[in-house]
Amino acid sequence: MARQMSQTLILRIVAFLVDSVSVLVLLIAPATGLSYLAVNLWNSTWGIARIWHTTILILVSAILLRDGFHGRSPGKRLMGLRVDTPDGTACTWGRSIVRNLPLVVPGWNLVEIGLVLFGRDSLRTGDRMAGTKVREE
């Protein structure tokens, strides 16, 4: 029997897509353009490595810290979602790091997607570790 998707789950998926497209537009596209410039204008493969190492560092930092600002990533804010603790307070920067750490572990991030989509309570491992839950505002 197929599980019916809740409104919160659909909003979470859309919020994730908004965050992903934002990263693409604000980070990946400029890094790609700079890489082409590094090769074509300056003939610098070393420059490409620096560009992408910096991009990856910014990307991982953004993933880890994205829910720390009042419990809302840009996508969650747009979709009216918030990451809270059991007592109702917003997710802190520290909890955001713990909550999103599994997302930067290759392979485990796929498990996290499965837990959100098919898990009984839609809690990711990161939510369990940080003691957080996504809710509608």
Whether 34 and 58 have beta carbons less than 8 Å apart is answered as no
Contact 39, 48 (CB under 8 A): yes
DSSP character for 4? P
Amino acid 54: pLDDT? 94
Q: What is the pLDDT of residues 67-119, one digit of tens each?
A: 999 999 999 999 999 999 989 999 999 999 999 999 999 999 899 999 998 88
Angle, alpha carbons 11-121-5 (nearest 5°): 40
Q: What is the mean pLDDT of residues 117-122?
A: 86
Q: What global pTM score does this model have?
A: 0.84
